Amino acid sequence: PLYHQAKFVLSAPDLKSAPADAGREVAFAGRSNAGKSSALNTLTRQKSLARTSKTPGRTQLLNFFNLNEQQRFVDLPGYGYAKVPEKVKRQWHALMETYLHERQSLYGIILVMDIRHPLTEFDWQMIEWCGYSKKPLHILLTKADKLNHGAAKNTLFKVQRELQEQELSVSLQLFSALKRNGIDDIHQLLDTWFQA
């Protein structure tokens, strides 16, 4: 499958250093520690495609992965460390806003949330930006294995309701990198995004 062919291309601190803005890309966002790297590694079936880097300073880069010449994944910098200096927060904010608004080849965003801590302030910011730029958004409620099935489903419905109250059309699903659950669902969604 296409997604297993993902290959690291480059890390960019800004849009000027990014690969040419052509073809189509899907970006992965998430609060630090949400499980974004594990989700990316799981759905590409690669052990260490996305590094599970825990160093805040190193996370302020856009990481590009080619699926082929025309299709890419982008790993967006995580966010949410309480100790991050104000200056780094501002840089992150500027980078994300610029990327989400100006990147023409960006088709849609996958937002990864730890199912035990859904809809953080960071997540709402991302949701708002996706709304402004009118990009499709799909939410992965990951680490679903941390809850029993009933509790996981309840969280799914609860998050769905909260988004509907805001009149946001966002899709969402359960996921577990550990148990490898939800992979087919996200592959199918990505198929529609890359072919649409």
Contacts with ligand GDP, residue ranges (CB under 6 A): 30, 32-38, 52, 78, 142-143, 145-146, 176-178
Of 97 and 145, which CB lies nearer to ligand GDP in the complex structure?
145
For ligand GDP, the closer CB: 55 or 195:
55
- If phi > 0 it is left, if psi is from -120 to 50 it is alpha, else beta; for residue 184 that is alpha
Burial 19-50 (b: 16+ CB within 10 A, else e): beeebbbbbbbbbbebbbbbbbbbbbebeebb
Quote the least distance from Cβ 152 to ligand GDP, whole Å: 11
Q: Please, which residue, 117 or 161, has the CB nearer to ligand GDP?
A: 117
Q: How far is CA 66 from CA 63, 72, 80, in A?
A: 10, 4, 27
State the minimum distance, in angstroms, from the CB of residue 29 to ligand GDP: 10
State the nearest-atom distance from the C-beta of 195 to ligand GDP, in Å.
27
Question: Whole-angstrom Cα distance, residue 140 to residue 28?
Answer: 10
Name the region of 159 (left: φ>0; alpha: ψ -120 to 50; beta: rest): alpha
Q: Would you say 78 or 108 has its CB closer to ligand GDP? A: 78
At closest approach, how far in Å is the CB of 31 from ligand GDP?
7
Q: Nearest approach, Cβ of 165 to ligand GDP (angstroms)? A: 26
CA–CA gap between residue 145 and residue 101 (Å, rounded): 34
Question: Between residues 61 and 105, which has the closer beta carbon with respect to ligand GDP?
Answer: 61
- Count the neighbouring beta carbons within 10 Å of the beta carbon of residue 143: 24
Closest CA to 71 of 11, 7, 130, 125: 7
Residue 66 or 176: the one with the smaller Cβ distance to ligand GDP is 176
Tokens of 177: 């990198």
Task: Say which amino acid occupies 141.
Answer: L
